[in-house]
């Protein structure tokens, strides 16, 4: 049983217009096995929260903590956070030319586990995980994310989630850019990985449709850099009806439907 506890987190980004604070007092506790949906209008800071937790150099923490089983991950380098058990599935996975998926996955697995995986079981595990995600075996020999379509990149993220077995998974707009079939395959992958490893999930999304496949236990509304409302799955239904208008400046309108 693990706990991720975000306490009064403030974070900023350097822009052309100067330093801009995006996260303004984020508080959240996630336990193993829980699925939290973090929903909110565009520009509310949802993705910033995801990247700040993972340690992207663009975002600077002003104050606050993110305790993973009592250890403040915000004091760690991104690789130390991953080793501590945090995984970020990115909205736009980065291409790394020249590094094959196989080599990348094996290196990551070795680093996370602190020892190289046994070759035979590892190869089998990789092949089967790819098969379940309906990924062409030749992906393994291609460079990391290079030339992958949007859907292929998302599958590759979920593949890593399955193989690296984190304690907490942050899924940043994993549904974006996916058609219905791909959304189902990717969601099934997340559910399977969660079933196997019982990790906690922070699912950042603008739209409600992924919630049909990955059932949240708790739904949060995120606006203007912090959580403004928390409820059960029924809150997502309300958002589907009313959109985010209630959380936007007067006169603006944004739907939660894809």
Partner 1 sequence: MADVKEIAIPVADPNDPYAIPAAMPSSADSAPRSFEVEMFPIPTRKQEDWRFTPVDRMSEFFNVFAPAATTTLDARYVDGSALDGAVTLEQAAMGEQESGSVSKPNDRVSAVEWNSSTSSWILHIRQDLDQPVLVRIEGNGLELDALHLVIVADDNVHADVIVEHAGDAKLAEGVEIVTGAYSHVSTTFIQEWSDQSKHVGNHRIRVGREATLRHAVVTLGGDVVRIRMDQDFAGSHGDLNMLGIYFVDPGQHIEHRTMVVHNEPECRSRVVYKGALSGKGAHSTWVGNALIQPTAPGTDSYELNRNLVLTPGAVADSEPNLEIENGNIVGAGHASSTGRFDDEELFYLQSRGISEQEARKLVVRGFFSELIEQIGIDQIAAHLMTVIDRRLAQGEDKPQVEEN
Which parts of this chain interact with partner 1 (CB under 8 A)?
54-57, 77-79, 81-83, 87-88, 90, 93-100, 103-104, 107-108, 111-112, 143-144, 160, 164
Question: Among residues 87 and 247, whose Cβ is nearest to partner 1?
Answer: 87
CA–CA gap between residue 161 and residue 20 (Å, rounded): 32
Q: Which of 8/92 has CB closer to partner 1?
A: 92
Q: Work out how close the CB of 210 gets to partner 1 at its nearest, in angstroms, rounded to a whole number.
A: 21
* Residue 145 near residue 176 (C-beta atoms within 8 A): no
Taking the least distance from each CB to partner 1, the nearer of 39 and 89 is 89
Q: Name the H helices within 133-206.
A: 150-164, 180-197
β-strand partners of 54: none
Q: Which two tokens stand for residue 1?
A: 């049983």
Q: Which is nearer to partner 1, 31 or 100 (CB)?
A: 100
Sign of the CA dihedral 3, 59, 214, 169? negative
For 129, phi then psi, to 5°, come to -65, -40
Q: What's the chain's length in residues?
A: 258
Least Å distance between CB 104 and partner 1? 7
Min dist. Cβ of residue 101 to partner 1 (A): 11
The strand pair at 168-172 and 18-31 is best described as: unpaired
Give 56 or 229: the residue with its C-beta nearer to partner 1.
56
The H-or-E segment that residue 224 falls in is none
**Is the CB of 170 or the CB of 256 nearer to partner 1?**
170
Closest separation in Å from C-beta 172 to partner 1: 11
Distance in Å, CB of 202 to partner 1, minimum: 15
CB of 114 to partner 1, least distance (A): 10
Is the distance from CB of 144 to CB of 101 less than 8 angstroms?
yes
φ, ψ of residue 24 in degrees (nearest 5) = -130, 75
């Amino acid at each position: 049983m693990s706990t991720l506890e975000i306490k009064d987190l403030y974070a900023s980004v350097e822009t052309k217009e100067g330093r801009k604070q995006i996260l303004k007092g984020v508080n959240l506790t996630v336990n193993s096995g829980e699925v939290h949906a973090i929903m909110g209008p565009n520009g509310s800071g949802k993705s910033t929260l995801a990247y700040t937790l993972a340690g992207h150099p663009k975002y600077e923490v002003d104050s606050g903590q993110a305790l993973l089983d009592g250890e403040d991950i915000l004091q760690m380098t991104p690789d130390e956070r991953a080793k501590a058990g945090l995984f970020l599935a990115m909205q736009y996975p980065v291409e790394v030319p020249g590094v094959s998926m196989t080599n990348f996955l094996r290196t990551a697995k070795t680093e996370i586990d602190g020892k190289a995986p046994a070759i035979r079981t590892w190869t089998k595990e990789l092949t089967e995980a790819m098969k379940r995600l309906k990924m062409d075996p030749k992906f393994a020999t291609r460079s990391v994310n290079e030339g992958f379509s949007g859907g292929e990149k998302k599958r590759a993220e979920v593949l890593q989630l399955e193989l690296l077995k984190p304690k907490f998974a942050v899924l940043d707009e994993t549904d974006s850019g996916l058609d219905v079939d791909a959304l189902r395959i990717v969601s099934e992958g997340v559910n399977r990985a969660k079933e196997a490893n019982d990790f906690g999930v922070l699912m950042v999304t603008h739209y409600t449709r992924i919630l049909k496949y990955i059932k949240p236990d708790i739904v949060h509304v995120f606006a203007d850099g912090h959580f403004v409302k928390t409820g059960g799955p029924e809150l997502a239904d309300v958002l589907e009806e009313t959109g985010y208008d209630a959380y936007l400046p007067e006169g603006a309108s944004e739907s939660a439907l894809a």
